[in-house]
Chains A and B, each alone.
Chain A
Amino acid sequence: MPSSLTVADRLLDKKKTKKKERTGKLIVYTCALLIILTTLSITLFLIIRGIQAFTIDGVSPIEFLSSLDWNPTRSAEQGGPSYGALPFIVGSFAVTILAALVAAPLGIGAAIYMTEIAPSWGRKILQPAVELLVGIPSVVYGFIGLTLIVPFIREHVGGQGFGLLAGMVVLSIMILPTVTSIATDALRTIPGGLRESSLALGATRWQTIRRVIVPAAGPMLLTAVVLGMARAFGEALAVQMVIGNARTIAESFTDPTATLTTIITLNMGHTVPGSTENNVLWSLGLILLIMSYLFIILVRFLSSRRKFS
């Protein structure tokens, strides 16, 4: 703003201000509209492609969601193809929940350490360490899992190494940064007054953390975990390399199994677009989309329950 203009000039020059305001509004509205349109068209596209297996190819949705038998390329002499996606749905949930069970206490613990216990140097060391984990590409996690974790499990835990346990280890490390950083933000937004009041009442630091800070941040900490789970649910590459991708439900931690994403990535390139084999993969994708909508609804619900503001 040129200094020659007085305050009165600037404020009174309504025409100019209005024009600027309109331009600004236009840009922002366009951006918002584009994002909404993108999301809507992706959703629409996935729904259209995802239901083709049921509407065009005549795959039974009930069989798709409840059958354990997945064999899209079986020849007619062997009994024909079958499209039961239940093992992958169960696999996705199992590995996601297991990863969250590991990552939630670790991530929230690290967040408490950074914000409450050792705020200055704790943050200086731990924050970059956690952020570094975000920058590692998932194929590297998968490769580390394949060369270190899988043989370790095979030798010290049992089984073939490939399976739920390996998937859980790799995924929990991958979602740790998400959980930690959102939990840290959550704890940081707790008004200082709460902390001080609690300490003034004679509570120890541990009592303050346990009885005041964590309950106050509870819904947001849960949001952190849910967002981590959403990431785990959608992760494909690293999981694919360590989980074994067997098309059966795992009976133990060390049994190989598969998730929705790994089946999609394994088969997408080999199938012909428009074929039944390809369409059922889109249906698996549709399940993933529905799940991510559910995760978002859950997050919105949790953040609306914030106890302070």
Chain B
Amino acid sequence: MKKIKLGTIFAAFLLTAAACGADDDTNTGENGDSTSSEGNANAEEVSGSILVAGSSAMEPLIAAASEEFMNENTEASISVQAGGSGQGLSSIASGQVQIGNSDVFAEEKQDIPAEDLVDHRIAVVGMGPAAHPEVGVDDITTEELIDVFTGEITNWSELGGEDQEIVLVNRPDSSGTRDTFVNYGLEGNEPTAGAITEDSSSTVKQIIGETPGAIGYLAFSYYDEEGTVLPMSVDGVEQTDENVMTGDYPIWAYMHSYTNGEPEGLTKAFIDYLMGDFVQETLIPEMGYIPETGMEVERNAEGEESTK
């Protein structure tokens, strides 16, 4: 099953990248574990413990990666906490954790000393408008999207769909997903205050699936085979990983892992692991995200896009 499959791939990965163990510094404590299995003799096992906190959207991915990492490095302990991008950034800035996860650039948040932090872009997450499957519309233009979310258009029939009132489902003011959707989907226009607001994407998904006429926005990782929600294409461009990678589809965000200064020891080993082949090529696509290494375009903190 999945676990076994991941394990095999991981073993293969270890053989090729055996040298990525940490060097001896403060975090590693007493290492020199020379009993490692075949082909792994010169890889030093890292030990110690670190705390990772932040973005709830990234939490499942980081948790899965840390579990695999700890299976291989039995001396290492990584605790992963969700809590929100703001919390991730503030706890890394104040040194309470070793890695702070955020789905927005540190520069975008008020009161964060962004110049002290080192940005590691782990993955890319695509997002987009998702509607109840029976609204009768599956493509929407950016202008229509803005009109829908600012309350100018209130019925699906105005977009050529069913005669059904539009129910807006929103995320909280400072949510990273909302930030991204507002910036790249709605061209900076804030959704109307009358919208239903829910804290978690899974609740948003549930509400969209159950409420006739509902529309909200979700990360690609929340879409499922059963089609409980309908991902709408924007200006004729489908919400697919490929379209994000080529830069055709605009609504996406980086998943940042921030460290306070250059990482060392276990922190460095784990960041390297996150950027390594196994996480990038296997774990990230499997969990519905887009590997950073696959992107053909890149974006800076000001939102300007360029080819890599």
Contact = CB atoms under 8 A, between A and B. Distances in A.
Interface of A: 69-75, 77-78, 146, 151, 154, 160-162, 240-241, 244-248, 256, 258, 265-278
A86 to B, nearest CB: 12
Contacts of B206: 146
Given A71-B173, A275-B110, A277-B110, A269 B86 contact: yes
Contacts of B167: 160
B84 interface: yes
A76 B22 CA distance: 46
A74 B195 CA distance: 16
Nearest to B89: A272
Contact of B194 (A77, A248, A265, A278): A248
Contacts of B194: 246-248, 256
A267 B196 contact: no
Nearest to B212: A154
Interface in B180-233: 188-190, 193-199, 203, 206-207, 210-211
A74 B112 CA distance: 18
Interface in B69-93: 82-87, 89-90
B196 A160 contact: yes
Contacts of B197: 244-247, 258, 266
A268 B172 CA distance: 10
Contact of B196 (A77, A246, A270, A277): A246
A162 B196 CA distance: 8
A258 B172 CA distance: 12
Contacts of B82: 269
A276 B110 contact: yes
B174 interface: yes
B98 interface: no
B196 A73 contact: no
A247 B110 CA distance: 23
Contact of B193 (A71, A78, A160): A71
A271 B172 CA distance: 10
B291 interface: no
Given A244-B196, A269-B84, A272-B112, A78 B190 contact: yes
Contact of A270 (B111, B172, B188, B189): B172
Which 7 residue pairs across A and B have the least CB separation, nearest first? A269-B84, A270-B174, A245-B197, A266-B172, A247-B193, A275-B110, A244-B196
Contact of B210 (A151, A244, A268, A276): A151
Q: How large is the interface on B (under 10, 10 to 19, 20 to 34, 35 or more residues)?
A: 35 or more
Given A270-B84, A270-B86, A272-B89, A240 B190 contact: no
Contacts of A69: 193
A78 B189 CA distance: 7
Given A78-B188, A245-B198, A277-B110, A270 B193 contact: no
B299 interface: no
A163 B82 CA distance: 28
B174 A75 contact: no
A294 to B, nearest CB: 28
A266 B188 contact: no
Given A162-B196, A240-B199, 6 more contacts: A72-B173, A75-B188, A245-B198, A247-B193, A266-B172, A272-B111
B193 A272 contact: no
B190 A271 contact: no
Q: Among B85, B174, B188, which residue has the most Cβ atoms of chain A within 10 A?
A: B174
B259 interface: no
A246 B171 CA distance: 10
Nearest to B195: A246
8 contacts: A71-B173, A71-B193, A248-B194, A269-B84, A270-B86, A272-B87, A275-B110, A275-B111
Q: Among B82, B86, B110, B197, which residue has the most Cβ atoms of chain A within 10 A?
A: B197
Nearest to A163: B196
Given A72-B174, A276-B110, A269 B190 contact: no
A75 B193 CA distance: 15
B180 to A, nearest CB: 12
A270 B112 contact: no
Contacts of B21: none
Interface in B150-194: 167, 172-176, 179, 188-190, 193-194
Contacts of B89: 272
